[in-house]
Structure 1
Amino acid sequence: MSVTINDVAKLSGVSKRTVSRVINRSGAVGEATRERVLQIIKEVGFSPDKQARGLASSRSYLLGLIYDNPDALYIDQVQRGALSVCSELGYELVVHPSYSKSAEFIDDCLSFISRSKLDGVIILPPVSENKELAAAIRDAGCPYVRLASVDLDDADNIVVSDERAAMKEMASYLVELGHKDIGFISGPQVYRSSIERLAGFLAELQVCNVQLPPHRIVEGKNSYESGIECAMSLLSTESRPTAIVANNDEMAAGVLRVANNLNIKVPQELSVAGFDDNILASRIIPSLTTIRRPVQNMACLAVQKLINKSQSTQSERVKLDEVITPYLVKRESTNRCAK
């Protein structure tokens, strides 16, 4: 015989409504009561019936994920973080890859939300920077949370990663190692994240009285292949930089490939650094110095914000204004400047 929500309520000594609030992570339940109910749920193996919950609350218990990002490792980390919260709270995640340059892009996203009957949607960068998409989803009445590198929206609708500050830390670290001739491979400058990272790096170099001339900055496409192309332009000259920082780990890996092909020793002759700390960063040789962006934590917070929006009253909602701060991870690909 299956355990019901009434059984959990009886064993916990609370009402059925209180058990429902605990399941839906409502802020209107005391911590001691919440812990007691969760313990009973675990002991008896109670699993909420998603279909019954949906019928009772006019919710689907489905959350969507919209992205247009070539980095499969980044998408994997987002899904892992989102699913860790979804599975705990009885939600499912529906993934929708999109093509943001399509003329039907916004209509396609709205169609996905409508046919999937989503309770909310998470929007990943660079799509999250599209204000027209955010406005269209808001007008359609669907809750959303955008992951972004700057504060583009109300606090309830965004999870911010302070990437400008993180790149300041990277610049300071390289200067401390004695590097004064540094190359920078940026991401596409139509993306706010690329703009923020370059701006942070330049700002800290200025504080340190180190110049980054225009010919040392090349724009990539955030892909491994473009990292190779940009690295060739920086390293195929007679006077090459002593360090190169890439906008992401994919392009940094391209730099390592070019350095190897040109018999440039890393880190003895060239320091290389990236951004993201994806799973390959610690596994390639040499292991990559990078900025760790806690992507799973950002995805967890985004799901919590979406579910928080579904609480029945404003008083039941929990304030979730945390800003995620990426940080420097030092590995084998950087060293003191030999010059």
Structure 2
Amino acid sequence: MGITHDVGQDVEGLVAAAHRIREAIESVIEGKRDVIRLTLTVLLAEGHLLIEDVPGVGKTMLAKALARSIDCPVRRVQFTPDLLPSDITGVSAFNQQSREFEFKPGPVFANIVVGDEINRASPKTQSALLECMEEHQVTVDGTTYLLETPFMVIATQNPIEMEGTYPLPEAQRDRFTARIAMGYPEPSAELEMIDVHGAASPLDKLEAVATTAEVRALIEAVRAVYVSSPIKRYAVDLVDATRKSPDLRLGASPRATLHLIRAARAHAALAGRDYVIPDDLQELAVPVLAHRLLPSLEAQGQRRRPEHVVADLVRRVPVPENRGKEDGAGRR
């Protein structure tokens, strides 16, 4: 049974819609096309994004630009040391008139949640996001409340060496589909930024170019992108290699394998393909896997970061001869 023509049409529509969103974001963020592309990949993969870098390079601006380019509910949370878990998830309050407890939803009840400087809050408050990121639901006082689709957490954090920051718990990092670093802009982009941002914020002029319903349709199209058996095996081999590497004391989890496949589907769709190829996994391996890994003491002594280890593993793990179009069943 082959891939239907409808899937190909869905992918074509996805590419056009993603192009509109990307152009809208690029009107605010100059010279960061690869970063924007990965951000869209995570959105369409139903994942969450961690943006880590020094202050002032546009982390929050990127998150806000994506949120404004989509016509859907957006909430922003400024993480501080005194923030409580109930400030994020919501709280049950007693209504004097009805003489009953009423649930007051927190900022996680939105399609896109922007968590600014997440590692400035205590680990207890950071952990308040665990359930909603994994299960798309919130449980307060024994009652479970479902979150709408799409649901995406875009969190920014400063490097953990900076004063007043807490490292994210391993369980929290593992729930982020990918981590990216903004990096400093090129001089030409920085010059353009002075002209564009000098008088007013371009966010003020940014209008939504996609609706919530369109984003849901794009996510459905990504789910239909085909992954052959050899490509699935290749993903498992890449993740398994992190567990066996002597340079790592904590390898990637099975959740990382699922995130890698989902992100590869979105990456393929954005490239105009309705099937995944090894290149998709190779390009995504570092941003999807590296933040979940812990280097060994020897690797730390040699200043080998998890990013370097994953890049080496991508070069060493054998690539399947099948490029993703067909498998043993002859499926296209």
TM-score over 0.5 (shorter chain): no
User: Which of the two has higher C-alpha Rg?
Assistant: 1
Q: TM-score range by the shorter chain?
A: under 0.3
TM-score normalised per structure 2: 0.22
Instruction: Please give the TM-score of this superposition, normalised by the length of structure 1.
Output: 0.22
